[in-house]
Structure 1
């Protein structure tokens, strides 16, 4: 599958096919299946592995970014963003998730057990969000911004896989049918120079 509009990622494949997806002009429009999610064990005791991530090989030499439109994010646990993947037990999903009626910058880091960090970003509602990951020293720096707000560092997490890494856009809809997301960009770009130095904004 060619993804020329999103950074020329070759041979991208879904972890699980969504309810529907289509390339329309310069956008990837995806509808999640009702009940889809990624989660491993922690607190709830269940494993959900039926979320939708479109993944391609990622060697980590370049940063990866995904941009998407928040206009459809209205219901509890509506979520989308960037998935970093090693296998079904080791992965990181970073994006925007609706919690208690407010969009949050959310990251789930999983190594057989998932954790969940949240930071409310109500001022981002309805905007275009970009999620970015840059890998070095067996870790990833995860940042987020909108087209109107600057980069914000939202997590530094261990991701100690020199080989076998994949990355790409994801979405899940644990609570409802009909949740659709428009992805505008999926690209590789220059890696971070430093944890405390913002990367450039490239269009």
Structure 2
């Protein structure tokens, strides 16, 4: 991983070279208020900071899930009240959810769809100034999941982008990052 990376809420167990691996702690999550009426900002986030106007991050993650809602994927973050997470979430041996949570001013929304359970997922976000396009690789094809404004996440043109994982209801799970492609450019 890049030397300029850093952790927000580092897990107790991790290895960041040559591939990132970590074990999520129990009862960790990123969520703010809406529907569930709880606040959590204690998930694990391994990230880079960028001022590039255009950037992309592709991540293939392997989640060795133990409990319902174990998850890992991509996160863009400004602070506890303004962030975006894109992930696959394990629900049971027969069900998983692919989705994104956009949190703005302390309110989270969740866009999701059911998918077949797997241990590996490939996710991608492409950012152009204040807009983000989110994709997931389903089979052999990229599927666009969402397009959204992320101006609430950029802080003075800087953005924190990286890999996150959490275990809201269980004892924790192992996350292995199989592939990372991070690109920055100026429009």
Shorter-chain TM-score bucket reads 0.7 to 0.9
Partner deviation per Cα, 1:148-183 (whole Å, 9 max, x = no partner) = 431111111210136121100100001111411111
SS in 2 for 1:62: strand
* Higher deviation after alignment, 78-87 or 134-143: 134-143
Aligned equivalent of 1:113: 107
**1:51-200 alignment runs, 5 A limit:** 51-58=43-50, 59-70=52-63, 72-99=64-91, 101-111=94-104, 112-122=106-116, 125-126=118-119, 128-136=120-128, 138-145=130-137, 148-160=139-151, 161=154, 163-189=157-183
Q: Name the CA shift for 1:178/1:172 in 2 (closer, same or farther; >3 Å).
A: closer
8 Å CA contact 1:168, 1:186 repeated in 2? no
TM-score normalised per structure 2? 0.86
Aligned equivalent of 2:35: 43
RMSD: 2.0
8 Å CA contact 1:60, 1:134 repeated in 2? no
Q: Which has the higher contact order (CA 8 A, sep 6+)?
A: 2
What is the number of equivalent residue pairs in this alignment?
A: 179
Distance 2:71 2:170 in 1: 11
8 Å CA contact 1:169, 1:186 repeated in 2? no
Q: Name the CA shift for 1:184/1:89 in 2 (closer, same or farther; >3 Å).
A: same
Distance 2:68 2:31 in 1: 16
Q: Which has the higher strand share?
A: 2
| Structure 2: tracts of 5 or more residues without a match | none
Distance 1:11 1:77 in 2: 30
Q: Name the CA shift for 1:167/1:40 in 2 (closer, same or farther; >3 Å).
A: same
8 Å CA contact 1:29, 1:180 repeated in 2? yes
| Structure 1: tracts of 5 or more residues without a match | 192-203
Partner deviation per Cα, 1:58-93 (whole Å, 9 max, x = no partner) = 3342211111124x1352101000001122211000
SS in 2 for 1:44: coil
Structure 1 consecutive aligned stretches of length 4 or more whose deviation exceeds 6 Å: none
